[in-house]
Amino acid sequence: MSQSFKVNVNKSFDFDISETDSSHLNSVKLSNNNYHVLHDDSSYKAEIITEDFYKKSFEVKINNNTYNININNELDVLIKEMGFEIGSSKIVNNIKAPMPGLILEINVEIGQEVKENDTLLILEAMKMENVLSSPRAGIIKSVSVEKGDAVDKNQLLIEFEA
């Protein structure tokens, strides 16, 4: 079974290339990052300028024209369609109460800059103190509760600036 690749050039052009197509490419390695390529009776000088194997992105110069190329296999495409791109992170813009309880302490105020894992507030639920920490670095946009407030599950507590 031949594997296929989705190739994007300069974030503008998309191509589907099969493993068979790539194996028919006539290229000769001249040095570490330099190649001579023959395609449809035309000669090309290719140089790999930068490469990032983890992101599968390359900057390639072909006959003095530079191209930014991203290559994805079928698994990469499926992961992206599911919303789980490698290297991306989901931005959390608000903190909601994970359970009903009582606000014992609020450690932040509007406009305050916080780092990931800083303590935002303490919520008492079922006679236990639950420390709610910041999931990311950011600036506090709003604090929707006060010390002593009773809160319901999923009630908005703190909002971050986007």
pLDDT of 141: 95
Looking at residue 90, its pLDDT comes to 59
Q: How far apart are CA 97 and CA 33, in angstroms?
A: 54
Structure confidence at residue 73 (pLDDT)? 85
Burial degree of 14 (CB within 10 A; 0-12, 13-18, 19+)? exposed
pLDDT at residue 132, as a whole number: 94
Q: What is the pLDDT of residue 74?
A: 83
Predicted local confidence at residue 84, as pLDDT: 66
Tens digits of residue pLDDT in 111-156: 999 999 999 999 999 889 999 999 889 999 999 999 999 999 999 9
SS3 109: coil
Q: What is the pLDDT of residue 85?
A: 60
Q: Would you say residue 23 has pLDDT above 80?
A: no
- pLDDT for position 40: 82
C-alpha dihedral sign at 69, 74, 77, 79: negative
For 66-117, the pLDDT digits (tens) are 999 998 888 877 777 776 665 555 578 899 999 999 999 999 999 999 999 9
